[in-house]
Amino acid sequence: MPAGTVPVEQAIFTSAQTMNKDGYQLVAWSPGISAEDARVLAVWGPAHDSMIADDPSDVSLNFHPLRDGKVCISRTMLGSAEYSGRGGRQVYTHCFVLNKASFARFHNDPFRVLSAALAIHDLRPGPELPTDLPTMMMLPSGPPVEPGLIRFFDSPTQQQTMVTWFHLALTSKKLLFTGNYNDRYLSVFFNLLPVSIRPLFPFSTRLRYSPRREFRLIGLANDTEEQKKAARQEGCTVFAFDSPARTPELSRHPWATWVQVALCQREPDIAAKLIGELPLSTRLEDLPSIGNRLRVTLSGQRRKEADASPAVSLPPVALERDTDREELLRLVERSLDGDVSALERLSSAWGCPEDSRMESLREDCAKHFVSLSRKRQGTGDSRSSMALEILSLILRTSP
Amino acid sequence: MTKRVLVPMESYRLAEAAVPLSCYICGVDNSYSTELCRHCAAPLALSHQARTQGVRPQMLAVLGTAAAGKTVYLGMLLDMLTRQNGRVQVLARGAFSITLQQRTMMALAQCQFPEKTPNEPDRWNWVHCQAKINNKKQPMELIMPDMAGEAILEEIDHPNAYPAIHSFLDKCSAVILLADTDRIERGGAEQNYFLMKLITYLSEQDGRRNKGKKSTRPVAIVFSKADRCEPCFDNPELYAKEKTPNLWQQVQQRFVNYGFFASGVAGSVGFREERGEGPMAVPLRIEPRGIVEPFEWLVRKV
């Protein structure tokens, strides 16, 4: 075995006419797939009409646990014609199976396994189905948290979507997500979770909902019928990517608020380091307290840096200078536009001791907020939860 | 000032929802308002229907390999029985019971076979109907699901892989086994082995109850797509003896009530090349033959 590589087992589940049987079955698998794994994969496998879109270029990514700590990461797409001549294309699924230790080498991130697999092989169905497959040797690389992925979402809307997504994912039993999402959101989600928590979030994308497949995060694209069907099930929360509702800070999961702080960072290496250093014994129920702690740590670090070098590119708002008033009013305006980083900076602005000047600034901000809100009411723009949060920040009250 | 209003408590509604509803197929308790059983994914509409009828419905299984013609057979059977005023009449219970018939007939009307049945139990079509036979006073309540062939085989190979199939086969009163004549004629032994497995599975389920005696559960072995082999229609039992001797032997040894039948829906089948989708089978004309006979025979035996 080459140094540093990890063995990854693979299997293909699709519809075919073979010596054993006709129809959907495991047509090929590597030697490390046990009989029990094969049985579970055959029952789990997405069969005819499982893909939401009837588009050969559409890809569904899935991640779910198998038995004995093993996990399966799979990629499903439409293949060639269904063998029985009943119309439609075969649904072709390439599965990668890893044991606990191997998955840990990828920092428990399914997207790193998929990237490694795609780098080695073309995972599209070929003209001939293979009859047996070798064990793949993959080379994991990279730190537990990639700072580059944190940088990826820099627009306020994307950041707001991500924060709401985190809040719902951490507080729901099952989260159905709809609308125009892309897989990048999922990869950033896994990247911003502590390594030990990542296996607790099995997911599927662009696959029809079936209660038979136990996923925690379920991507249903824009198919209304599937959305209705899934929403009828017990314990499901729906998250629409196209119109994400903002969650007020006080009722938000503290880890989601920490994510908001991390996403607002222009230099995300510190946030990545803080998440990456969390111990492997971290549990899901520890996340609220750890989220709060990390937020305080990062804010403290930022304050220290600001004190040490007042001329950094993005200073926290300093109330002593004459330009503060304009700066604060601009932050109120940007916050009302949904800019999460502006809201964060507005929050840090009220850290100075109370005096008459600060009281007058507070009053100015409140007046500006009211006038902006009045104008926007006229245009039909309603961001009531965001507005409530800004007002509570200005007035130092709880929404 | 607070206005005083009277709000009826209607607590009886809460009491109703607090009582669990047992799945008619697997018996697991579910919330009253749930759509599908949380264990086997069978529709709980069956339990609601069974509650209101007062008579416990019997279950009838239609089994066969993938692409043996289960959906077409069941859909055509229901369509014929809901139309004719002959010896057997069928009345669907619940709107969900019409879907299978509708799906099959709509596809055939467009010169297509219905699409493959998905493997997921929550997407199967279930039929609950009342069957009335001329000579019998009491009509029968029947439940018949259209299950995917791969799922049936998976359950036979690995019992409890599909709880819905496991419980259904354990409780069903009668079985129709479909053997694909087309594939038998092409020399494949797969139909023979699959049906032998099923026969063994069913008889062993009964054997536990009958202490090793032959099973009394009625079994109809139906050679589907028999339009591709005329001698099969003439004498299905002789056809079974010659073409699937192991199956014929097993049935004799394990069951008391059995019958061999031949059926066909499409009088003639052609193939159309669909760009990017390969050859597609096209039913050129609809000529149902031998559809009702196995069902009528079974219903009389139950």
3-state secondary structure labels for all residues of A16-34: EECCCCEEEEEEEECCCCC
Name every residue whose Cβ is closer than 8 Å to that of residue B295 and which is 6 or more positions away in sequence. B77, B81, B88, B176, B220
Q: How far is the alpha carbon of A233 from chain B, nearest alpha carbon, in Å?
A: 7
Contact A88 B34 (CB under 8 A): no
Contacts of B272 in chain A (CB under 8 A): none
Other beta carbons within 10 angstroms of residue A93's beta carbon come to 28
CA distance linking residue A38 with residue A45, whole number of Å: 10
Write out the two tokens for B99: 């879907």
CA distances from B21 to A109, A234, B45, B164 (A): 41, 15, 10, 16
- Residue B216's region, left for phi above 0, alpha for psi from -120 to 50, else beta, is alpha
Among A22, A56, A208, the residue with its CB nearest the CB of B190 is A22
Q: Which residues of chain A fall below pLDDT 70?
A: 1, 266-267, 302-324, 338-345, 347-354, 377-389, 392-399
What pLDDT is recorded for position A315? 45
pLDDT value, residue A34:
93
> A39 to chain B: which residues are within 8 Å by CB?
158, 161
Instruction: Find, in chain A, the residue whose alpha carbon is nearest to that of B32.
Output: A234
pLDDT confidence of residue A322? 47
Burial class (CB in 10 A: 0-12, 13-18, 19+), A34: middle
Residue B203 carries which side chain, given as an amino acid letter?
S
> Strands A217-219 and A203-205: what pairing?
parallel
Q: Which of B36, B117, B276 lies at the smallest CB-CB distance from A211?
A: B36
Residue A317: its pLDDT value, please?
44
SS3 A313: coil
Contact assessment for residue A10 and residue A97, using Cβ atoms and an 8 Å cutoff: yes
Q: CB-based contacts of A179: which residues, under 8 Å, 6+ apart?
A: A221, A222, A240, A241, A242, A243
Interface of A with B (CB under 8 A): 21-25, 39, 42-43, 45, 47-50, 56, 80-82, 84-89, 208, 210-212, 232-234
Q: Residues 6 or more apart from A82 whose CB is under 8 A from it?
A: A15, A48, A88, A89, A90, B116, B277, B278
Residue A379: the pLDDT is 57
Chain B residues touching residue A208 (CB < 8 angstroms): 120, 123
The b-or-e profile of A56-84 (16+ CB within 10 A means b, else e) is: eeebbbbbbbbeeebbbbbbbbbbbbbbb
Place of tokens 């056809």: B239
Listed in sequence order, the DSSP H helices in chain B are 11-18, 45-53, 70-83, 99-109, 149-157, 163-171, 181-185, 190-210, 230-234, 236-243, 245-254, 292-301
Residue extents of the structural domains in chain B: 19-55, 57-301
Q: Would you say A145 and A192 are in contact if contact means Cβ atoms under 8 Å apart?
A: yes
Round to whole Å and give the CA distance between A37 and A97: 9
Residue type, A371: S
To the nearest 5 percent, what fractions of chain A are helix, strand and coil?
A: 45, 15, 40
In the prediction, which pLDDT does A312 show? 43
Indicate yes or no: CB of A87 within 8 angstroms of CB of B277: yes
Look up the CATH architecture of domain B57-301.
3-Layer(aba) Sandwich (3.40)
Q: Where are the alpha helices (DSSP H) in chain A?
A: 35-44, 100-105, 110-120, 147-152, 156-171, 183-191, 224-231, 254-264, 269-276, 287-308, 324-336, 340-349, 356-379, 384-395
Residues of chain B with pLDDT under 70: 1-3, 16, 85, 276-277
Q: Which one-letter DSSP state was computed for residue A200?
A: G
Q: Report which DSSP code applies to A238.
A: E
ipTM over 0.85: no
B244 within 8 A of B195, measured Cβ to Cβ: yes
Contacts of A13 (CB under 8 A, 6+ apart): A24, A25, A26, A27, A41, A42, A45, A46, A92, A93, A95
Query: Cβ contact (<8 Å) for A50 and B120?
Result: yes
What integer pLDDT is reported at residue A1 of this predicted model? 67
Measured CA to CA, the distance from residue A30 to residue A27 in angstroms comes to 11
CA angle in degrees (0–180, nearest 5) for A30-A36-A37: 45
Q: Is A191:A109 a contact under the CB 8 Å cutoff?
A: yes
CA-CA distances (angstroms) from residue A354 to A85, A299, A346, A357, A396? 78, 20, 16, 8, 12
A187, with CB counted inside 10 A (0-12, 13-18, 19+), is buried
Residues with Cβ within 8 Å of B105's Cβ and at least 6 positions away in sequence, in order, are B75, B76, B79
Predicted pLDDT of residue A24: 93
